[in-house]
Amino acid sequence: MDNQHEVIVRAAKPADLSALCALFIEFHDFNLCGVPDRLARSDSLGGFDCVRLEANLRHLINTHGCNILVAESGGVLLGLAEIYIRQTSEGTAVAQRIYGHLQSLIVTEAARGCGVGQRLLRAVEAWADARGASELQIDCWEFAAGPLGFYEREGYRTLTRTLVRALTSDQRAVGKPEFAESHVVCQPK
Ligand SMILES: CC(C)(COP(=O)(O)OP(=O)(O)OC[C@H]1O[C@@H](n2cnc3c(N)ncnc32)[C@H](O)[C@@H]1OP(=O)(O)O)[C@@H](O)C(=O)NCCC(=O)NCCS
């Protein structure tokens, strides 16, 4: 990281698009290392479609209710945060709430551990707060080198969990019933 220049956190501009693409690719590759069976490898996609990615990012920085914030030092982007304002649907069993959703947060590897991620997170919280959000929500993959510890240090707690268990292929064998009927007598204690 450049020690000569201060770090500025600001909204992304169209001139940032190619640097933003590079950060998003680094973000994808970081997560791919952590959960290789959950994300597509870029070579299986024939490489990243940067034209399409740039078009999506341009839309994000020009659309009301979402944004990309960047951390910059000496003209170099060190990190980004992709943020949305969301609202729960009316007339459902879910309590009404306006909240911020942090979709992506990355600090480039060489700049980690210097407070840049924390500054981006605080800026995201301020951005969402100014738009009426009562809280910030984040979905993150859980793996050893992942960001859960960072978020917990920053005051976040787990609200829901996605539980998974691999299923065995012999359950799919042709001709086998989907499940074996079982009868259990329930005896009150
Ligand atoms: C997670 C990430 C954004 C943190 O950015 P960073 O600039 O390195 O974080 P900071 O330097 O601001 O760290 C703030 C505090 O969190 C701690 N911290 C940082 N990463 C941590 C981690 N993975 N686990 C536990 N603590 C962590 C720091 O030690 C620091 O603690 P301190 O204030 O006591 O010194 C960065 O590591 C990153 O980009 N990771 C890869 C992408 C990723 O996982 N993004 C989140 C996806 S939802």
Compute the residue count for the chain.
Answer: 189
pLDDT confidence of residue 149: 97
Asked whether residue 119 is domain-assigned, the answer is yes
Nearest C-alpha neighbor of 70 from the set 114, 8, 159: 8
How much distance in Å is there from the Cα of 171 to the middle of ligand 1?
42
Nearest C-alpha neighbor of 21 from the set 60, 48, 59: 48
pLDDT confidence of residue 172: 64
pLDDT confidence of residue 20: 97
Residues of the chain falling short of pLDDT 70: 1-3, 45, 170-174
- The CATH number for 73's domain is 3.40.630.30
Domain assignment of residue 52, given as a range: 7-162
Amino acid present at 185:
V
- The closest residue, in CA terms, to atom 5 on ligand 1 is 117
Count of domains for the chain: 1
Asked whether residue 101 is domain-assigned, the answer is yes
Asked whether residue 186 is domain-assigned, the answer is no
Asked whether residue 173 is domain-assigned, the answer is no
pLDDT confidence of residue 79: 98
How much distance in Å is there from the Cα of 146 to the middle of ligand 1?
9
Nearest C-alpha neighbor of 79 from the set 145, 7, 156, 128: 7
Q: How far apart are CA 139 and CA 32, in angstroms?
A: 15
- The closest residue, in CA terms, to atom 47 on ligand 1 is 105
- The closest residue, in CA terms, to atom 26 on ligand 1 is 150
Asked whether residue 26 is domain-assigned, the answer is yes
Asked whether residue 185 is domain-assigned, the answer is no
Asked whether residue 126 is domain-assigned, the answer is yes
Nearest C-alpha neighbor of 131 from the set 100, 175, 164: 100
Instruction: Report residues whose beta carbon is within 6 angstroms of any ligand 1 atom.
Output: 27, 30, 105-107, 112-118, 138, 140, 146-147, 149-150, 153
Q: Where are the beta strands (DSSP E) in 17-109?
A: 66-73, 76-87, 98-107
State the pTM of this model: 0.91
